[in-house]
Chain A
Amino acid sequence: MNTLRRVQVVPLVLALLAALPARAAEKPQINVQELTLPNGMRWLLFETHESPTIAAGWVAHVGSVNERPGITGLSHFFEHMMFKGTRTIGTKDIAQDLEIIEQQEKLRAQMRDEMEVMRERLRRGEIDDILKPESQTARYRELEKQFEALVQKQREIIVKDQLDQLYTSNGGEGLNAFTNHDMTAYLVRIPANRLELWAWLESDRLANPVFREFYSERDVVHEERRMRTESTPLGKFDEAFEATFWDASPYGWPVVGWASDIPSYTKAQADEYFATYYAPNNLTGVLVGDFRTAEVKPVLERYFGRLRRGKTEPPPVVTIEPKQLAEKRFHAEAETSPTVRVWWKGIGFTHKDRGALDLLTDLLSGRTGRLYKGLVLGRQVANEVTAAIDPKKYAGIVQMEAVVKDGKDPALVEQALYEEIERLKTEPVPPEELQKIKNQAKANAYRRLSSPLFIMYQLMVYDALGDWKYINAYADEVDAVTAADLQRVAKEYLTRENRTVGIFLRKEGAAPADPELAALPAQAQAMVKQSLQRVEAETDPAKLREGIARMQEAAAQAPAEMKPAIDLIVKRAQERLAALESKK
């Protein structure tokens, strides 16, 4: 009885070809087999026998997009909990373990009441940060002491990180997981003979998970947030920028979660979350490597077939980002080189314009791309430029960014960027240039197939975004794009009302800035700096024009040593004026 439903039947001819001596693929495509278990769990299998290993993973179709205010970051936190063990793995005494967890939950319920007291004190302005130890109530501290005692008691029966230990001693490598807006994926590379071990461990943590060490793991996640977001020069700014960019979409909150939400998750929330989103009907498994499909099918069926389909289907994401009505602007001073960032609302992963927008940003990026040639080599206003699309599952972004050359006005860089986009709208891309981008896309399509681990990663990601076949369709898809398509999408997406603009300036005192200013005599610098700041802040072209005239008049009568200072101010004022007048 064949319980595995094979959706894609491999033609006999292909099977025969596989037995012939290896020769280079004619097209950047791989022969992936798709299977579905009766419980709804889907599988993507690709055999490749270069090395005696298998890249193995599964992806849960859940990410921060499925959260709501108050539990932001729960998907990512959940990723951590999946390493904490099961009824078999991670404990010496499951009965006592579960009993301790129950006692811990009772204490935590009381601690949550105290946290509400602390939040109330914060609202009244009596404390400034509920995360500081000195903000805790006496009752909270007492409860925490009791909780700590239970943690110590539990530690005696916990087998620490046993999942990791089992993989390590069996030659597993790179055991890891990642979470983003749309997915949570779990992956490892194993020796080819350990597939059944993988099936045992992975199906066990899906069938019988125990969320032990829930609360100490929240602390670990908070440290992760501190490391990635709070202690990096741009982490907090990037988070705020994304929150500005999206109006209604759940993509607006950070994957790691807001700082206030992380210490507030409850185990009850986690249980509900698991039941809804980690049911087999919401999962896709992926194997790439040294195995025989006919041999692994019964193993997958036996181990993963035991998972129960969810009682209800995961709820759909219903929020649709509304059409943006007006440009948004974001002005930041940070420890970074001055940067102009422009993001437009783009498309979701399965949208028909994916190929055209992908090619459009390819055309703009790279050393022979239009932005580098236009802004770095040509106008010489920027030092670095990038352009890319970020298609998520439900919506997406077209992203461009330029690092402003020292001493140049960011407004000039922004303007130059828009000029390049204007050219895309008004002039068709010449055939030679289009062919160059297509040649690169095709070569890159092959390069993406050079590592089993990377193939597995792509299959998981593309499937979670809604279309794993992209791995094979990409090259043909971009090949079909025409110059007219590029012109159309440029006009449609890259408009003023559809964009959010970030101007990042180097924070005062963070590092020396402005080489032209530094070149002036020391005694002139303070005065000139003040004038330049006024120039940068001026938004009225008429006033600038008036100022320039006055300065030029003064320059004629000023002593020779003052001339360079005045010239610099006039030059910057003229640049500012040009930028203001041409701004669309």
Chain B
Amino acid sequence: MKTLAAVLVVVVVAVAGPAAVPLAAQGIPDHPSKLTFKPIAFEPPRPADHRVVLKNGMVVFIAEDKTLPLVNIGLTVRAGSYLEPPGKEGLAALTGSQMRRGGTKSLTAEQLDERLDFLAANVGTGIGDTAGTASLNALADNLDESLRLFVEILREPRFQEDRLALAKEQALQDMKKRNDDPADIERLEWNALLYGEGHFTNRFVTQASLAAITRDDLVQFHRAYFHPANMIAAVSGSFDRAAMIAKLEKAFAGWPGPKPAVPPVPAAIQSARPGLYRVQKDVPQGRVTMGLPSVRRDSPDIYALEVMNEILGGSGFTSRITRTVRSNEGLAYSAGSGLRFGVWYPGSFRVVFQSKSRSVPYALSLVVDEIKRIREQPVSAEELDTIKRSLVETFPSNFASKAQAMAIFASDEYTGRAPGYWTTYRDRIRAVTPADVQRVARAHLEPDKMVILVVGNQAEIDVGDDKHPVSLAALANSRVTVLPLRDPMTMKRPSS
């Protein structure tokens, strides 16, 4: 009864009170800047504490995490589509997917699928542009069997013919969709402009290349690259470390053949001539990308570049491009910039936005103005401070779980990231000055060297907006190329 009365009193106060009671009386400061916070001490985990090399040469990063009765194994395999023989484009991806889908030496595809599903084990395999991957997420209480099947998939895939035929048919049907979604057209054409038609990431899978791929090609591609000495593992979950290492030693022992030699990823790129590239697609909104190749990860400018990009367009509403194009003018839902540092070949800087056809030219002119401004004027101390604090304060999230930390270590090992990157990162960000930001913007963001790609209803885009007479061509110094849509099955453009 007493408690009920107390609650009632509070309810009455709550209904009658707040408007009349000043904030201070409630113990609430009148502005959030008056709040103070206890510092959080955080040091990133050290890779050496988790690194083990198995007898077969496989590097393993391992951490116990007993919160859930699950075990995660993520493998990175030295392989990639850059290793495909010409005329067999699509071989790497098919080999990757068919390892999981096509059965193993002892089990047909049907048997393997049924068994893994009964065990509730999630297994995935794939080969991308510059790496192969394989993952197992299994219940700890059936780990032994799940792991045995996982290794069998990696070591002795069956590559069942009927499953390969089905995968090719599915790929062929997907190929037909290449021109359906303007976002897909943009993604594909942007990469071709950025790195060149000859770059291995632009050697497109076609109807003909798909037809040329045989089961034997898959067998050989797999045999050439899948070997424990070519794998790096990230392992976390509910196990005892020593026992798990022993399990891995045993599971991956006795692999046939020596460690295969893998050629390096090619470093060369060949960007398109700067200027405007237009692709016609009849939709009410134009998709715009503007940018150029950026640096590789070993450049000393990466910290200042990261800060610069966050200020320009990389930090959502806090960044300039989002504020100008979306928040001030209401011209886009999505507007911002992205910066990627390359590992094997140069990365990229790009501004992207989508706007109704007629406001595309004006919105693009605002973007160009923002790029010029960050080159010509130093950023404010407040903007710089906001971004530096953000990068420093969010740093612990990189290592939010054991699985994430092990995945970072495995990726760093695979890509040979400079040691000390994580331990010095926050100090390096804190050291960035307004002059650094301006210097890297001038060095790396020259508008005249940029490629602009516009996918949309070109005639409607050219109508423009009568309040802001801007022409797309003028923004690109009249260097304009019309790109006809490619035939989705051959990736050739119609000759006009």
* A63 and B18 alpha carbons, distance in the complex (Å): 28
Q: Is the CB of A309 within 8 A of B396?
A: no
* A194 and B393 alpha carbons, distance in the complex (Å): 11
User: Which chain B residues border A447 with CB–CB below 8 Å?
Assistant: 68, 70, 137
* A200 interfacial by beta-carbon distance below 8 Å: yes
* A22 interfacial by beta-carbon distance below 8 Å: yes
Tell me which of B166-174, B243-251, B411-419 binds A.
Answer: B166-174
Interface residues of A in 253-273 (CB under 8 A from B): none
B367 → A minimal CB distance (Å): 15
Q: A25-B68, A161-B323, A223-B333 are in contact. Are A39 and B26 (CB under 8 A)?
A: no
User: Which chain B residues border A346 with CB–CB below 8 Å?
Assistant: none
* B49 interfacial by beta-carbon distance below 8 Å: no
Q: Is the CB of B181 within 8 A of A1?
A: no
Q: Is the CB of A221 within 8 A of B333?
A: yes
Q: A216-B329, A223-B354, A230-B283 are in contact. Are A3 and B177 (CB under 8 A)?
A: no
Contact of B18 among A218, A308, A366 (CB under 8 A): A308
Contact of B118 among A23, A436, A442 (CB under 8 A): A436
Interface residues of B in 203-254 (CB under 8 A from A): 238
Q: Is the CB of A439 within 8 A of B180?
A: no
Tell me which of A162-170, A353-361, A415-423, A480-488 binds B.
Answer: A162-170
B39 → A minimal CB distance (Å): 7
Contact with A along B153-197 (1 / 0, CB 8 A): 000000000000010011011101101111100000000000000
Residues of A whose CB lies within 8 Å of any CB of B are: 1-3, 5, 22-25, 28, 37-39, 48, 50-53, 83, 88-89, 133, 155, 160-161, 164-166, 168-171, 173, 175, 189, 191-194, 196-197, 200-201, 204, 207, 213, 216-224, 226-227, 230-233, 302-303, 305-309, 335-337, 366-368, 376-377, 383-384, 403, 405-406, 432, 435-436, 439-440, 442-444, 446-447, 449-452, 506, 510-513, 515
Q: Which residue of A lies closest to B37 (CB)?
A: A193
Contact with A along B300-329 (1 / 0, CB 8 A): 000000000000000111100011001111
* B370 interfacial by beta-carbon distance below 8 Å: no
* B40 interfacial by beta-carbon distance below 8 Å: yes
Q: Is the CB of B285 within 8 A of A446?
A: no
Q: Is the CB of A22 within 8 A of B317?
A: no
Contact of B390 among A22, A169, A303 (CB under 8 A): A169
* A504 and B197 alpha carbons, distance in the complex (Å): 34
Q: Is the CB of A220 within 8 A of B333?
A: yes
Q: Is the CB of A227 within 8 A of B354?
A: yes
Q: A197-B32, A220-B326 are in contact. Are A165 and B173 (CB under 8 A)?
A: no
Q: Is the CB of A196 within 8 A of B117?
A: no
Interface residues of B in 275-307 (CB under 8 A from A): 283-285, 287
Tell me which of B6-14, B84-92, B337-345, B431-439 binds A.
Answer: B6-14
* B389 interfacial by beta-carbon distance below 8 Å: yes
Q: Which residue of B lies closest to A201 (CB)?
A: B32
Contact of A193 among B40, B180, B394 (CB under 8 A): B40
* A151 and B174 alpha carbons, distance in the complex (Å): 47
B185 → A minimal CB distance (Å): 11
* A194 and B403 alpha carbons, distance in the complex (Å): 25
* A337 and B11 alpha carbons, distance in the complex (Å): 59
Interface residues of B in 121-152 (CB under 8 A from A): 121, 137, 139-140
Q: Which residue of B lies closest to A367 (CB)?
A: B113
A556 → B minimal CB distance (Å): 33
Q: A25-B68, A194-B37, A309-B15 are in contact. Are A219 and B10 (CB under 8 A)?
A: no
Q: Is the CB of A439 within 8 A of B120?
A: yes
User: Which chain B residues border A170 with CB–CB below 8 Å?
Assistant: 389, 393
User: Which chain B residues border A193 with CB–CB below 8 Å?
Assistant: 37-40
* B480 interfacial by beta-carbon distance below 8 Å: no
Could you pull out 26 A-B pairs where Cβ atoms are within 8 angstroms?
A24-B68, A38-B14, A51-B397, A88-B31, A160-B323, A164-B317, A168-B390, A191-B393, A191-B394, A193-B39, A194-B37, A200-B29, A216-B328, A216-B330, A220-B327, A220-B333, A226-B354, A306-B26, A308-B18, A383-B170, A383-B173, A405-B169, A436-B118, A439-B118, A450-B403, A511-B180
A162 → B minimal CB distance (Å): 9
Q: Is the CB of B69 within 8 A of A446?
A: yes
User: Which chain A residues border B284 with CB–CB below 8 Å?
Assistant: 226, 230-231
B60 → A minimal CB distance (Å): 21
User: Which chain A residues border B386 with CB–CB below 8 Å?
Assistant: 165, 168-169
* A172 and B393 alpha carbons, distance in the complex (Å): 8
* A168 and B488 alpha carbons, distance in the complex (Å): 42
B168 → A minimal CB distance (Å): 11
Q: Is the CB of A161 within 8 A of B318?
A: yes
Q: Is the CB of B179 within 8 A of A511?
A: yes
Q: Which residue of B lies closest to A223 (CB)?
A: B333
* A230 and B394 alpha carbons, distance in the complex (Å): 36
Contact of B181 among A155, A233, A383, A442 (CB under 8 A): A233
* A164 and B326 alpha carbons, distance in the complex (Å): 14
Q: Is the CB of A232 within 8 A of B181?
A: yes
Q: A52-B42, A191-B393 are in contact. Are A337 and B328 (CB under 8 A)?
A: no
User: Which chain A residues border B38 with CB–CB below 8 Å?
Assistant: 193
Q: Which residue of A lies closest to B356 (CB)?
A: A226
Contact of B397 among A53, A200, A220 (CB under 8 A): A53
